[in-house]
Structures are given as C-alpha cells and as structure tokens.
Amino acid sequence: MRHLLMISHFFPPMGGGGVQRATKFVKYLSQCGWRTTVVCGDPDDYWMRDETLLQEVPESARVIATAGATGLGMLRRVRRQRGRERRSSRAFALLRRAATWALIPDSYVGWRSFALRTAEKVLERDPPDAVLSTGPPETNHLVGLQLKQRTRLPWLVDFRDPWVALHLFEPPTRWHRERNSKLESAVLQHADCLVATTSWLRDLLRERHPGTPTRLYVIRNGFDPADFPAHRPEPTPGLPLRLVHAGMLTMTRSVDGLLHGLRRLHVRRPELSGSVQVELFGARETANDDLVARLDLEECVRFRGYVPHDEAIAAMLRADVLLLVKHTEPRYLGLVPGKLYEYLGAGRPILALVPESEAAELVRKFERGVTAPPDAPESICALLEQLVEAKRDGTLHARYGGEAPAALTRLEQARNLAALLDQIAPSSNRGGA
C-alpha cells in the first residue's frame, strides 16, 4: 500500500464534527490502496471526546498524538474544566478575541513545532509517498507547508473551511490581515493539489489565487452508510413532532430563531403547546441555555449534551424531523454544515434554518425538507405549524423522506481523494528529503 502522512489536529479520540472528514478519509483510503499515519493533537487539549470513533480507524493506520501549547488547552487547564458538553459563551468569546490578536494564524499555532518534530520522525522511520493537511485549524497547513519546503513531497491541502482569520473573522488590524494573507498565499502556491468542500469555497480559492484552477477540486462532505443500521425504525404516528439537532451550537450558530418561532406558535395556537418537542444533542455555548429559560421553553426544549457519534446517529433515527442550523453572518454564507450530509443519509425530513445558499439548494435539490432563514421566527413558526399538521395527518415522511445518492457516501469521496493522491504522487516518483 502507498503511505500518506496526514496532519490533522482534530482526530479521535477527540469528538465533534471537525474530526469526521479526516477519520472517514483514513477509514476508506485503506480500501483504495493508501495507508495513513496521522499526526494529531492531544485529546486532553480539546473539549469534546468520543472514544467510540477509534473503532473507525483501520489497523493499517498509525495515529500519533502530540501535545502542544494550544489556546483552548491552556484555557481548560487554567479553568480546570472537566465537562465536555458546554463551554462558557463569554469565556470562549474572550479567548477567541485574544487569539485573533496574539496568535497567527489561530490558537493552535503553539502545536506547530511539536507536530513538525513528530512528522519529521515519521519521515525518517517510515517515509510517506505524500502529505495531506486538512484545516481548520490553519496551523495544520503551516506544518504541511514546512514539510513541503523541506522534503518536496507531494502535498494535498484540504480546505474544510476558508482561512478562518481572513474570511470568517475580521482581522483586528491591517497588519493581521496582511500576515494571514501571505500565509494563505504561500499555502496555495506551494500545494500540489487543493481540495474544497463546497463550490463556494472552490470559487473563493480561485479568486484568491488565480493560478489554482487546474489543481483545485471539490470533494464534499458526506455520510457513511455503515453508520446506519440496515433496518431503520419506522416513524411513529401522531403527535408530538420530535425535532432533533445533532451538532455544535457555537461560534454564532444558535437556535435563537427556532426558539422564538416555537414561542410564537405557543402564543398563537395554545392548543399546539407541547406538540413540538426539541432535543439538542451536541456541544454548545451557554447562551443557548439562557435563551431557553428566558422564553420559558424548558418543558419542550431539552439539551442532551455531547454524546458519542453512534448515539447521535440513533437519536437522528428516532426523530420525525432533523434540525439544521447555520450561522446568520454573511461571512459564513457559503459553508455547508457537514451534518447536512448525515441528515440526508438518515433519510428523515429536514427543517433547514439556513440563509439562501448552497445548503438550502441541496435540501431542495433532493426534496428532503423545508427551509427558512435562521433569524426569521415568523417564517419558522409557519413551518413548524406546517410540519405539525403533516405529522398529524401521516404525510410527513412521504413528503420529505428518502434515500441519499451514492455519490455522497464517504467511500466514494475517499475514492476521489485517492485518485488525486495517485495523480500527484505516481508510484514511480516517491519524494524524499
């Protein structure tokens, strides 16, 4: 088998959405002629953990976790944090603001030298055929860049999101903008191949660096059929309508619009109070809890906290409707939450609270649900009423349920990735130091 060195700070036993893409690539690349060594961060430096995801890692893979002085890791130690399902909205906002000023490109830059030393040991003992870095955090790409400059090994850069400090957060000064821009340009110029998760992100990268079109590709996020049972539970008849959100509620992604829409439904149609039950699985910031209490919705909105991935899948399959929430800020417009693809794989109707965007287009393209802007409680109230009536008359699943296309499976995406790796790293041209 060919050998790939992957730089990914987020990797099991860390949990959360950020680990899924790298984990599934490693799992299915092993079926496409590539074994992987992963250099990742120390799971104790992160606030979510999921030991069950280690079962996804094939025997052919090697995972090397190395600690580093990351911003979140230091905050956890200072605050002696034990819980992994909530983080303080105020404390994390302060950390993010301080990191934007002091740490370039991100709060994980303290891990860079540790990861680089670990990767160099891999190069000595088990030379790879290619290197892949996946971000965010962008520190992963800086490690990949240094390895490229030192070894000239073929290097594939996987952009799950845009360069965060440039495109998702406003740089605090002109100097910060220029510094991040130079780092982004260096990565784009030196990479042998660039992969983006959405068409919007592909176009943004083309705009940032016009010389990339011939080596820039889209490999979307997806779902793994192996995560779902062969025989799925049938939807239960009658009310209540059970909504499930499985994913993080952080960094301006909140259920504010949903909660205000639900409150309006209760006020306008008191007889429907209790007809909608919402379960929110996943890590979150505390502002979400505060709003539920303020709107007096504790009886119908429940936070279940972070759960292992297999339990999140089981919760999706128990739902009548799966709730998708996107950020309202224009900077996030083109991002498609990875969770959407798992929702498509689950085969349940989707209530997508997203701006008019690629995410909304996917829901409509596959006729899998209804959409509304995440900050439009009036529209959300109307959709909740519509979904309640469809559940009551037994037509909900027939309207919006269905199978997801095979092109969105993790195996198919790994095949596409392996094909790109085969192009940039022909078997007869192994790189070297």
Cross-strand partners of 325: 353
Residues 24 and 165 in one domain: yes
Q: How many domains does the chain divide into? A: 2
Q: What is the pLDDT of residue 432?
A: 42
- Assess if residue 240 is contained within a domain: yes
Alpha-carbon distance values, 61 to 27, 34, 128, 154, 419 (Å): 8, 9, 12, 19, 19
Residues 188 and 322 in one domain: no
Residues 25 and 151 in one domain: yes
Whether the CB-CB separation of 335 and 329 falls below 8 Å is answered with no
Residues 394 and 416 in one domain: no
Q: What is the pLDDT of residue 2?
A: 97
Residue from 247, 307, 337 nearest 49 by CA: 307
Write down the residue that tokens 């603001």 correspond to: 97
Q: What is the pLDDT of residue 98?
A: 73
Q: What is the pLDDT of residue 431?
A: 45
Q: What is the pLDDT of residue 312?
A: 94
Alpha-carbon distance values, 383 to 194, 351, 387, 405 (Å): 39, 8, 6, 26
Q: What is the pLDDT of residue 253?
A: 81
CATH of the domain at 318: 3.40.50.2000
Q: What is the pLDDT of residue 89?
A: 53
| pTM of structure | 0.90
Which structural domain, as residue segments, surrounds residue 54?
Answer: 2-222+409-424
Q: Which residues contact 59 (CB under 8 A, 6 or more apart)?
A: none
Write down the residue that tokens 């943004």 correspond to: 204
- Assess if residue 432 is contained within a domain: no
Residues 217 and 202 in one domain: yes
Residues 378 and 420 in one domain: no
Residues 182 and 70 in one domain: yes
Residues 216 and 234 in one domain: no
| Low-confidence stretches of the chain (pLDDT beneath 70) | 69-96, 212-214, 251, 428-433
Residues 269 and 390 in one domain: yes
Burial of 7 (0-12, 13-18, 19+ CB in 10 A): buried
- pLDDT per residue as tens digits for the range 9-59: 999 999 988 899 999 999 999 999 999 999 999 998 887 899 999 999 999
Q: What is the pLDDT of residue 214?
A: 67
